[in-house]
Structure 1
């Protein structure tokens, strides 16, 4: 039985907390921290033994094996370092930090101490995307040629969030950068990106874009096209298509129901799911389950700190490409 703690009981923290307490038999949650009373009351509903506003009580708890970090981004790296020095295994929501320098220094601490670290790029765990990955590995699609990833939110976040998010490529498209790395399993050679404001001029005033396009060229000549948008009027839009010498495979959007209404105007399907909490409910459960199983079986983490670094570097390259209006070679970074 893996004994867990959790830091942060907001929107994502609540999902993980409830899953651990009700759906993951190999783990038990013995401590939870949240600054506000609302989050602490949520943990108390699940009879978590220690509920506190003091992170140190969780970090230094002698019985805890591993801790989930679900706090705002600006606290991630500091908590990772503190937990690593306390000898705890770590599950951290993405990203480690918005500063490349701080991410690199944090990963150096992890390497020096040697504790397990898993980053929560939960979309890898989606059963639909997992099936596509398996078909690629088994050679059913043949030699990969192209991948097309579409990621559109139902509505933009508040401007206050935009201002502190790191930008569309770092905040939103970073999941798609990780997915591209995961599916292609090679190194990106070149990045070309464009970004515009088509949805809300206030997003532009906040220094960000709301619509982005990125073309990744891998060393094995596979190309990945990623489309990102902050607003789709029809709901959350997450689709994926891979094309190779033996065929094509795609993952479509799951809908709210499988019902169809048919009349003289045609066939009418149900709506898209509302947002990521609905769309990726299964993957949130599966990623924490994978973290627990890796600890139990003493195996490498399925999504390591270096995976997060690779996705972050692609976001940095995409921003550089967009602002400088040119192709950016990945060799230009970290020189």
Structure 2
């Protein structure tokens, strides 16, 4: 997507640098995605990026040092990349380890097999990523070890979803997380749950992944519509589950409600963005992934929308 730059525009934030205008213009295309609701677009004006930076940074700087930890699967890892780009002028582009304790890092890494890392922002705030694909690993490997790295001022944004494709499996992993949280609630930092993300595979009416095969692509739109109030609608009874957040979110919602954990709701506004998956990125296909796939997305796309949505959630608590 090509976005023309107006070199006379002044950046809305400081410190300013070569990337400022590029970031602001990239963010400005977000409300123009097909299906993007009027309710959200009217708030995404030219100053939205500036407000988002201020809100997220302020939320991390109330008590110093304060960290935002993104803990989850490969979708969450992509969200971390969006955060890195979003704050590109506020860190030195050096990823740093989450701890100087190598044994602790190894224990945390055991779950997702990806080195955890942080970016350091002004005011001693940090945004960190820890890879974890499911609830059992979260309860066994991540939460017991990551707690020693955190303070009561920290925010953890958790998610596991798309790597679990059967309801009974997902229920089991949700239960493992629930039981751990209930046993250790008094020692936990502030937790936000990010809901699961829609998929757009063509073999399933609901877009869910079923199996690899020659008819696996291209990605397809889901037969639901998003109205100006951010509600999904469909005339197809078989797709009603999509208007309820998909089957994973329908299972996760009562668990989070019972634990009193707030939810960063991204599902509805992500559903229309079927054309921003890796399938439509030739570079991705050339990296040995064949035709790509219909779960993860390119940048900018849904991940940049989630930055705005996280801003709105944090801002609502100020």
The bucket for the TM-score relative to the shorter chain is 0.3 to 0.5
Q: TM-score, with normalisation over the residues of structure 1?
A: 0.36
Quick check: which one's strand share is greater?
1
Quick check: which one's helix share is greater?
2
Q: TM-score, with normalisation over the residues of structure 2?
A: 0.37
Task: Answer with 1 or 2: which has the greater Rg.
Answer: 1
